[in-house]
Amino acid sequence: MKTRAFWWRKIEPVVLGVAGLLLVALLWQLASSLRWLNPLLVSSPEQIFRAAARLSANGELWGDLGITVVEFAISFFAASFVGILLGLIMGWYRRAEYTFEPFLWLLFSTPLIAFYPLLLVWFGFGFNTVVVMGFLFAFIPITINTMAGVKHSSPVLVRAAKSFGANNRQILMKVALPSALPMIVTGLRIGVERALIGVIVGEMFCSNSGLGFHISYYGARLETANLFVALVIVILLGLILTQAFRILESRLMKWRQN
């Protein structure tokens, strides 16, 4: 009896979670089939499956997914590189921190999307602007978290390294960077979320390809089933990426505590 309770407790969240999803899908399908809601506007799971099969058969879905993923990857890696580098500098040199921090917070609280007309002028319509938008959205939290991580690396460890004759570079590489790692990963996780937002917004406003563009395109043409296909892919993409980083994050936390 006891083992059974244990076994149930383990799978209960999974069973209930799947049940919840199925329940929502069922209600959605019913609402659409029985015309409680206008099927033209809300579509239905069945129509979405058909649309997904059609879009993936003619390759459109994969093309869009490819473009969005490439744009996302470039902007995220650029943001990680710049963010970690800038964060290390700001965490290490107090004056750099004091100089740049006000601008970071300023940039963090501005609605960056407002600058898309300027980005269009500078980087042209399409791919480049989308990448820049993703980069702008993502690099700030990465910088701030890296900086905080480096700043809060244990002074005892730094002093110990110093008294054993480590030079500045060694302290940075062997002490500050490893102890800042969990914070950096947290920053990267937030950066992933924000890069994806930036790329989708960028595609909606200044591109003619990718998942974000097609969400807005199908919306304007009232093709709700197609819209939902693109939307679900975006949701899955966000879910997979953030969960991967969350797992990495909790692993690192555990490793630190041990």
Partner 1 sequence: MYTSLSMRQRWGIGSFIVFLALWELNRHLALIKPDLVSSPGRVIVAGWRLLTDGEFYSHLYVSMLELFCGFFLAVVSGLIIGALIGRYRIIGSLFDPLQMALYSTPTVALVPLFVLWFGVGVGSKVFIVFIASFFPVLMNTASGIRQVDPLLTRMSRSFGATDWQMFQKVLLPGALPAIITGIRLGWGRGIIGFVIGEMYVSLKGLGYLIRTYGNAVQTDYLFFLVVFVAAIGLIGTNLFRRLEQTLSPWREEEGTR
The site for partner 1 (CB under 8 A) is made up of: 12-13, 16-21, 23-24, 41-42, 94-95, 98-103, 106, 109-111, 113-118, 121-122, 141, 190, 193-194, 196-197, 200-201, 204-205, 211-212, 215-216, 218-220, 222, 224, 227, 231, 234-236, 238-239, 241-243
Alpha-carbon separation of residue 26 from 30, 42, 219, 238 (angstroms): 6, 13, 23, 24
Nearer to partner 1, 26 or 118 (CB): 118
- Residues 82, 79: Cα–Cα separation, whole Å: 5
Nearer to partner 1, 126 or 212 (CB): 212
Alpha-carbon separation of residue 136 from 29, 157, 199 (angstroms): 39, 34, 10
Q: In this structure, what is the dihedral angle of CA atoms 56, 62, 68, 74, given to the nearest 10 degrees?
A: 160
Q: How far is the CB of 16 from partner 1 (least distance, A)?
A: 4
Nearer to partner 1, 2 or 95 (CB): 95
Q: How far is the CB of 79 from partner 1 (least distance, A)?
A: 14
Q: How far is the CB of 128 from partner 1 (least distance, A)?
A: 16
Nearer to partner 1, 145 or 153 (CB): 145
Q: How far is the CB of 98 from partner 1 (least distance, A)?
A: 3
Q: Are 87 and 187 in contact (CB under 8 A)?
A: yes
Alpha-carbon separation of residue 109 from 65, 139, 166 (angstroms): 30, 13, 39
Q: Are 188 and 142 in contact (CB under 8 A)?
A: yes
Nearer to partner 1, 152 or 174 (CB): 152
Q: How far is the CB of 78 from partner 1 (least distance, A)?
A: 19
Q: How far is the CB of 57 from partner 1 (least distance, A)?
A: 23
| Token pair of 116 as six digits | 């898309």
AA letter at 118: L
| Token pair of 70 as six digits | 């490439």
In the chain, alpha helices (H): 2-33, 39-42, 45-57, 60-92, 94-109, 116-123, 127-151, 155-163, 168-171, 177-206, 211-220, 224-257
Nearer to partner 1, 19 or 53 (CB): 19
- Residues 71, 65: Cα–Cα separation, whole Å: 10
Nearer to partner 1, 169 or 254 (CB): 254
Q: How far is the CB of 200 from partner 1 (least distance, A)?
A: 5
